[in-house]
């Protein structure tokens, strides 16, 4: 650890000598980055990096409205099945020797055709293949027009296309590198790939040929470079931020929350002169999940799953473990702020009810010492230990197993843990995105249904929602589905998160958005 920390400091020194500090944006990614290939843009760590390198047809603004990107406009047929996108003619891929004499080339509609086919290719095994489940077919009409035909109307489809999975990639470069495209990315984004020393440092440089401009006609991006380090310890990350070696820290970790924030969630006086705090709604539900296909009797018992939901005080947990940042999840899985959210369908703190449910399980099964193993990462250990202590009072023993983030990700995807801590950040601003985690045809690892929850009534309602064009009726369907999930309790919602960002005072233009996307093209430093 000391050696890695020394390497980190030396590399920071190298960057600041070669570049003006005020032209480099520096942040740390404690979760590490698995791939820079947009076909595998599954986790926030990967999405943040990939977002700087790649573009899609459309993009989302800070208010969650879909805006043009490589597609300058689009039209939708009256039956809501056919989407036609007119592409810009001034978008080029980042330079590469494989593009022959000009070292680059224009993006054309056939590039999107290739990129979408690749997303569906079983040999590629993209974690994002599910985003095209509602697509019947797609094709390049000519170099400028790309057309998508849906199987059925899908109101959230444009929002879905803003996901990084739907980014355009160049066939000749992907074919050349194969699976190594993950570490040799060529996109169209505001920054281009420069260097990646895995587990140590990742560097992007300004794309001087980027196509987007600000309202005054100045080209994006303003920064010369982005430097990402990989200190795995959040406390060390915060120390580097406090010392001015990092420009930005995202989120609130137990290791430094009391250092920087008061109990009421405001900046402490020590940090007011040098640090800005940005805070806003975040479409993210933090939860615990049960793997429903497990052989463990305790997990198979709805009595115990409901006991966990009743057995701890979410509001108290938020006050003491999050300094009031975030909203106690007493509703369903759909977070507050999205149509379909219902504050009345979840669980409140009822310790006696939790005790009775555990006692009923013990009487029915004869298992006097029920125990469930909860797998988590160290960053959420305090939450899991709090729940562990509260549930022990009910007669249910929760064993907490702490593993690295990569191990939890693998176990969660492949059903190797009975109970796990997870979060779901909205990929697009529609409650269907949250409910997709409980659709039986989305079983992980080929979809986001990590719990392997299966219910015929839920599936019927989920499929019905796609054809429901009346917004209010669709929202009621969403709420009914969420209520059914909560009754069956394959998950325990803990809290609906808020975005909290800490930046140095000289960082401008960073902003905030409800899906916590890191947008750096408009950032500048004074």
Cα distance between residue 270 and residue 259, in whole Å: 9
Residue 9 has pLDDT above 60, yes or no: no
Query: Each residue of 277-296: pLDDT tens digit?
Result: 998 888 999 999 999 999 99
Number of alpha carbons in the 13 Å side-chain half-sphere of residue 100? 3
Number of alpha carbons in the 13 Å side-chain half-sphere of residue 247? 24
Residue 47 has pLDDT above 90, yes or no: yes
Number of alpha carbons in the 13 Å side-chain half-sphere of residue 146? 24
Within 337-451, where are the H helices?
351-365, 381-392, 405-413, 432-435
Query: Each residue of 143-171: pLDDT tens digit?
Result: 999 999 999 888 889 989 999 999 999 99
Q: What is the pLDDT of residue 472?
A: 87
3-state secondary structure of 515: coil
Q: Which two tokens stand for residue 290?
A: 């049960």
Residues 6 or more apart whose CB falls under 8 angstroms from that of 355 comprise 307, 393, 394, 395
Cα distances (angstroms) measured from residue 493 to each of 165, 233, 272, 297:
27, 26, 33, 22
Nearest one of 56, 54, 69, 31 to 185, comparing CA atoms: 54
396: DSSP letter: -
Cα distance between residue 38 and residue 49, in whole Å: 10
Cα distance between residue 37 and residue 58, in whole Å: 18
Report the 10 Å Cβ neighbour count for 273. Answer: 7
Query: Each residue of 177-212: pLDDT tens digit?
Result: 999 999 999 999 999 999 999 999 999 999 999 999
Number of alpha carbons in the 13 Å side-chain half-sphere of residue 173? 25
Q: What is the pLDDT of residue 494?
A: 97
Query: Each residue of 242-256: pLDDT tens digit?
Result: 999 999 999 888 889
Tell me the angle at which helices 302-310 and 351-365 cross, rounded to the nearest 10 degrees: 160
Annotate 420-441 with b (16+ C-beta within 10 A) or e (fewer): bbbebbbbbbbbbbbbbbbbee
Query: Each residue of 337-392: pLDDT tens digit?
Result: 788 999 999 999 999 999 999 999 999 999 999 999 999 999 899 999 999 999 99
Within 395-470, where are the H helices?
405-413, 432-435, 456-467
Q: Which two tokens stand for residue 89?
A: 């003619």
Mean pLDDT over the full length of the chain: 92
What proportion of the chain, given as a percentage, has pLDDT over 90?
78
Q: What is the dihedral of CA 245, 323, 519, 248, to 10 degrees?
A: 0
pTM for the model = 0.76
Q: 237 and 28 in contact (C-beta within 8 Å)?
A: yes
Q: What is the pLDDT of residue 19?
A: 53
Q: What is the pLDDT of residue 137?
A: 96
3-state secondary structure of 260: helix
Tell me if the bond preceding 302 is cis, omega within 30° of 0.
no
Residues 6 or more apart whose CB falls under 8 angstroms from that of 30 comprise 230, 231, 232, 233, 234, 237, 379
213: DSSP letter: B
Q: 398 and 374 in contact (C-beta within 8 Å)?
A: yes
Give the 3-state secondary structure percentages of the chain, helix then strand then coil, rounded to 5.
35, 25, 40
3-state secondary structure of 387: helix
Give the residue, 428 or 482, on which the prediction is more confident.
482
Nearest one of 349, 422, 421, 357 to 390, comparing CA atoms: 349
Report the 10 Å Cβ neighbour count for 63. Answer: 9
């Amino acid at each position: 650890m000391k050696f890695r920390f020394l390497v980190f400091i030396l590399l920071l020194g190298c960057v600041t000598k070669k570049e003006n500090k005020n032209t480099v944006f520096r942040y740390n990614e404690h979760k590490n980055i698995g791939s820079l290939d947009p076909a595998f843009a599954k986790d926030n760590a990967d999405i943040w990096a990939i977002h700087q390198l790649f573009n899609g047809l459309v993009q989302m603004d800070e208010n969650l409205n879909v805006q043009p990107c490589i597609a300058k406009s689009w039209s939708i047929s009256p039956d809501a099945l056919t989407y036609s996108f007119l592409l810009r003619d001034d978008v080029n891929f980042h330079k590469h020797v494989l593009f022959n004499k000009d070292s680059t080339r224009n993006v054309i509609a056939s590039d999107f055709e290739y990129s979408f086919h690749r997303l569906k290719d079983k040999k590629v095994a993209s974690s994002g293949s599910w985003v095209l489940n509602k697509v019947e077919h797609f094709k390049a009409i000519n170099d400028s027009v790309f057309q998508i035909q849906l199987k059925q109307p899908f109101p959230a489809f444009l929002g879905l296309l803003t996901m990084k999975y739907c980014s355009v990639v160049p066939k000749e470069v992907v074919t050349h590198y194969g699976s190594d495209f993950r570490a040799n990315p060529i996109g169209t984004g505001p920054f281009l790939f420069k260097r990646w020393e895995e587990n140590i440092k990742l560097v992007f440089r300004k794309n001087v040929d980027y196509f987007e401009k600000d309202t005054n006609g100045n080209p994006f991006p303003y920064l010369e470079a982005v430097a990402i380090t990989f200190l795995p310890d959040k406390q060390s990350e915060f120390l580097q931020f406090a010392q001015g070696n990092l420009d930005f820290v995202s989120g609130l970790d137990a290791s430094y929350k009391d250092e920087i924030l008061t109990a009421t969630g405001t900046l402490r006086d020590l940090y007011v002169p040098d640090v800005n705090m940005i805070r806003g709604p975040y479409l993210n539900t933090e939860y615990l999940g049960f793997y429903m296909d497990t052989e463990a009797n305790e997990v198979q018992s709805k009595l115990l799953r409901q006991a966990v939901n009743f057995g701890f005080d979410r509001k108290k947990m938020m006050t003491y473990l999050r300094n009031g940042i975030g909203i106690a999840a007493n509703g369903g899985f759909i977070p507050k702020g999205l149509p379909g959210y219902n504050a009345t369908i979840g669980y409140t703190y009822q310790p006696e009810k939790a005790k009775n449910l555990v006692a009923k399980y013990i009487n029915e099964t004869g298992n006097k010492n029920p125990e469930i193993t909860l797998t988590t990462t160290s960053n959420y250990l305090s939450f899991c230990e709090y729940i562990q202590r509260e549930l022990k009072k009910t007669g249910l023993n929760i064993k907490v197993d702490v593993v690295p983030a990569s191990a939890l990700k693998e176990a969660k995807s492949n059903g190797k843990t009975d109970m796990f801590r997870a979060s779901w950040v909205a990929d697009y601003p529609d409650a269907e995105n949250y409910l997709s985690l409980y659709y039986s045809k989305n079983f992980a690892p080929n979809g986001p249904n990590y719990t392997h929850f299966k219910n015929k009534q839920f599936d019927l309602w989920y499929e019905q929602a796609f054809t429901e064009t009346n917004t209010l009726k669709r929202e009621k369907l969403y709420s009914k589905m969420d209520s059914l999930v909560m009754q069956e309790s394959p998950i325990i919602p803990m809290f609906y998160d808020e975005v909290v960002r800490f930046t140095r005072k000289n960082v401008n233009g960073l902003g905030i958005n409800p899906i916590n996307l890191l947008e750096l093209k408009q950032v500048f430093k004074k």
